[in-house]
Amino acid sequence: MPIFMPVPDDTATTLADVAPPRDAAPRLTSLSHGGGCGCKIAPGVLRDLLARAAPALVPDNLLVGIETSDDAAVYRLSATQAIVATTDFFMPIVDDPHDFGAIAATNAISDVYAMGATPLFALALVAMPVGKLAPDTIRAILAGGEATCRRAGIAIAGGHTIDSVEPIYGLAVIGIVDPARIKRNVGARDGDALILGKPLGVGIYGAALKKNALPPGAYRAMVDTATMLNTPGIALGAMDDVHALTDVTGFGLLGHLLEICRGSDVRATLDWKSIPLAPDVLRLAAAGHVTGASARNFAGYGDEVTLAATLPAAAQAVLTDPQTSGGLLAAVAPAAADAVIARFRAEGFADASIIGRVDAGLPHIDVRE
């Protein structure tokens, strides 16, 4: 599966012949109707689509499939080895092509870490408007993804490309895990502490960037957090006291926590003041720099979320903000919470925090001030 860029039928035509020079190319974000994980189909719509799908074949060795909206599929090879497979791709959330490629790749690999697994290799998924983007721009996107994979210690072993209306980039990622160490978005228990690895706000930053309203310095902060590989997931996979694990992406913190609650038949309480936020996020959200996905996300939660009336006006937009390459979210036995935080901090996640707790009860989330 070689990675190559399609061009018109004339075999003498090259990519340089059909694309503009890089300095004449439009902003990447101007070519897409949405950016990053904000492109995901709304959770309510997705649930309806999957509910109406025909029953799928479920082999005995398929340990994790679509039944709980988990981060990746897991297929058992033997008593001690299972393959983890996932894919993720989206349109640009930033204009710098190298940063776009790096963020997209980090986001895709994260799903393997969220299963407690170790990534092995990746396949690139590339869809580009060849006639609108300069060859150097497309190459830089690919280079950003390759650089991230090198940091993760994996190769891009192939892939597929098409000529498309909007620029799209991502990866299919294959990993490996001991079946006894698989972490899922189910299994949270009464009394568990909830730990979040990264601050919220990437989607809000992306919305502000698109309107040229992102403050100086915030862009770098945005890229730095979105390109942090969620490597603590491997160590968390080996910890019996980590009962549930996922990563926070397009459905926002509330959406992905709600998946844990539904899959585990528990409720959760979040402490607003304990949730780590990227700098200036509340002000940007209050000024209207939010994605369309935020409102769609909240509508998809139904009556399973209650926000305290005393929360800041922009809190809903932050809690529903689609995170592109967001942090790991873990439900952990209280006695192990300090050890989990220490693991995050040891791997550079300075903002990792206990943000709430799990309790027995029907699936629901309460957010208190």
Please enumerate in sequence order all residues whose Cβ is within 8 A of that of 310, keeping only pairs 6 or more positions apart, or say none.
369
CA 305-257-69 angle, 5° bins? 115
Strands 193-196 and 328-332: antiparallel
Short-list 141, 86, 335, 352, CA closest to 232: 352
Asked if 172 contacts 87 with a C-beta cutoff of 8 angstroms, the reply is yes
Short-list 118, 112, 137, CA closest to 126: 137
The C-alpha atoms of residue 188 and residue 183 are separated, in whole angstroms, by: 11
Short-list 160, 167, 166, CA closest to 6: 160
Short-list 206, 131, 201, 117, CA closest to 163: 131
According to DSSP, residue 200 is labeled: B
- In whole angstroms, what separates CA 115 from the centre of its chain? 13
Half-sphere exposure of residue 221: CA atoms within 13 angstroms, side-chain side: 20
According to DSSP, residue 56 is labeled: P
Asked if 268 contacts 358 with a C-beta cutoff of 8 angstroms, the reply is yes
Strands 328-332 and 62-64: unpaired
Which two structure tokens, joined as six digits, stand for 57? 């074949």
CA-atom Rg of the chain in angstroms: 20
Q: Is 37 a catalytic residue?
A: yes
- What single string gives the DSSP state of each residue in 175-214? EEE-GGG---S----TTPEEEE-S-B-HHHHHHHHHTT-P
Q: What are phi and psi of 101, to 5 degrees?
A: -60, -40
The C-alpha atoms of residue 134 and residue 5 are separated, in whole angstroms, by: 12
Q: Tell me the catalytic residues.
A: 37
